[in-house]
């Protein structure tokens, strides 16, 4: 892959861009802000981040991404940003609110798919387990849809639209994310487990902590999406593939215990917040409402099976993902003493 467009620069998009740059790919990152004050149009560049240094024949070259200011739901802007690239990685999203998902995501997906089809380039989407939340068996690439809430039904419709669209595309399912780029308000593991333990606070989790829970290290999700894009080169135009990124299935209690060990703290049993409490909190706080609506993946086992894609890229031990996240948290905030 010589050139790629990454839409979005959050916890997944930034990791995809970093891995592509490390492999020598020319990367464009499209965001609404443009990634910096110097980016004012779809052709403007900003080279202040994500640089990779490589040495060839005794010379050193610094590879930097091109930051583009583009609204991915605007087909004209998106077509300009994607002109000449070999693949698109569509990592833009919306606030964690099913009402906003309904307004934003179908239109966003359609614009990306239409652009990819018109330019005859593959597009890869990150995907969650939400469309399969009601399954009582491990999630596989052949699992039937089983949504339990509006978010899951929206995810199902998005996947079905990709399946019938003339664009060549893939949707790569991952579990709950952790790793060096994990964002506090996007990674439940970071928000509810590693951050509180790092601050010496007791852990309260809106989930059972004694059942297996699908986890994916963000670097693995990114690697899987890049591999999926490569695999799309060998399929007929208009193909959609549902793929599963590397995943493991620890309990949340195991993650809490390992976090405490890594920080040199005593184990403290995480407190499970009962579902009725998250339901009540959801009356005044939308994020709790949305979490409560997905109760089966939090209060019952949510197991993700291995896959051929996972075998291709390898699976990082979830403990390493926790270490990466703790290192990132340490660099973001001053050291805290446990209470």
> What are the structural domains of the chain?
3-332 (3.40.50.720)
User: Is the per-residue pLDDT at 263 higher than 90?
Assistant: yes
* Bridge partners (DSSP) listed for residue 67: 29
Instruction: Give the tens place of pLDDT for each residue, 152-165.
Output: 999 999 999 999 99
Instruction: Determine how many CB atoms are found less than 10 A away from the CB of residue 130.
Output: 22
**Which 3 state secondary structure label does DSSP give 158?**
helix
User: Model's pTM, two decimal places?
Assistant: 0.90
CA distances from 220 to 8, 38, 53, 188, 254 (A): 18, 32, 22, 18, 20
Output the average pLDDT for the chain: 89
Which of these, 177, 157, 200, 140, lies nearest to 336 by C-alpha position? 200
Would you state the pLDDT for residue 314? 95
pLDDT at 187: 87
User: Higher model confidence: residue 236 or residue 40?
Assistant: 236
Summarised one tens digit per residue, pLDDT across range 57-66 is: 555 556 789 9
Question: Mapping DSSP to helix (H, G, I), strand (E, B) and coil, where does residue 64 land?
Answer: coil
Give the max Cα distance, the chain: 64
Top-ranked range on mean pLDDT: pick from 179-188, 242-251, 322-331: 242-251
Please report the pLDDT score of residue 89 as a whole number. Answer: 98
Contacts of 79 (CB under 8 A, 6+ apart): 115, 118, 119
What letter would DSSP give residue 168? -
Residue-level pLDDT at 328: 83
- The span from the CA of 109 to the CA of 125, in Å, is 9
Report whether 17 contacts 85 (CB < 8 A): no
Digit-coded pLDDT (tens) for 186-238: 888 999 999 999 999 999 999 999 999 999 999 999 999 999 999 999 999 99
Terminal alpha carbon distance of the chain: 50
Q: Percentage of the chain surpassing pLDDT 70? A: 89
């Amino acid at each position: 892959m010589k050139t790629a467009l990454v839409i979005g620069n959050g916890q997944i998009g930034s990791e995809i861009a970093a891995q592509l740059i490390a492999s020598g790919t020319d990367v464009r990152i499209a965001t609404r802000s443009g990634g910096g004050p110097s980016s004012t149009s779809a052709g403007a560049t900003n080279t202040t981040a994500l640089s990779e240094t490589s040495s060839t024949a005794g010379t050193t070259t610094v590879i930097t991404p091109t930051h583009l200011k583009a609204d991915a739901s605007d087909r004209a802007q998106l077509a300009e940003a994607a002109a000449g690239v070999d693949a698109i990685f569509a990592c833009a999203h919306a606030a964690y609110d099913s009402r906003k998902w309904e307004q934003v995501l179908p239109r966003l997906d359609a614009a990306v798919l239409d652009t990819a089809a018109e330019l005859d380039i593959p597009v890869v989407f990150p995907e969650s387990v939400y469309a399969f939340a009601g399954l009582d068996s491990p999630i596989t690439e052949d699992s039937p849809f089983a949504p339990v809430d509006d978010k899951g039904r929206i995810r199902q419709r998005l996947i079905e639209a990709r399946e019938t669209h003339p664009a060549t595309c893939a949707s790569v399912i991952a579990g709950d994310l952790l790793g060096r780029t994990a964002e506090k308000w996007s990674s439940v593991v970071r928000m509810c487990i590693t951050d509180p333990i790092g601050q010496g606070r007791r852990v309260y989790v809106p989930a059972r902590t004694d059942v297996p829970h699908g986890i994916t290290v963000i670097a693995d999700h990114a690697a899987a999406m890049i591999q999926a894009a490569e695999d799309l080169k060998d399929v007929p135009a208009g193909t959609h593939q549902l793929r599963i990124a590397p995943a493991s299935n620890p309990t949340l209690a195991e993650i809490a215990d390992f976090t405490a060990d890594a920080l040199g703290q005593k184990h403290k049993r995480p407190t499970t917040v009962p579902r009725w409490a998250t339901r009540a909190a959801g009356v005044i706080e939308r994020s709790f409402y949305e979490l409560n609506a997905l109760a089966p993946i939090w209060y019952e086992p949510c197991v993700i099976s291995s896959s051929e894609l996972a075998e291709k890229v390898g699976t990082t031990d979830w403990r390493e993902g926790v270490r990466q996240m703790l290192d990132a948290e340490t660099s973001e905030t001053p050291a805290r003493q446990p209470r």
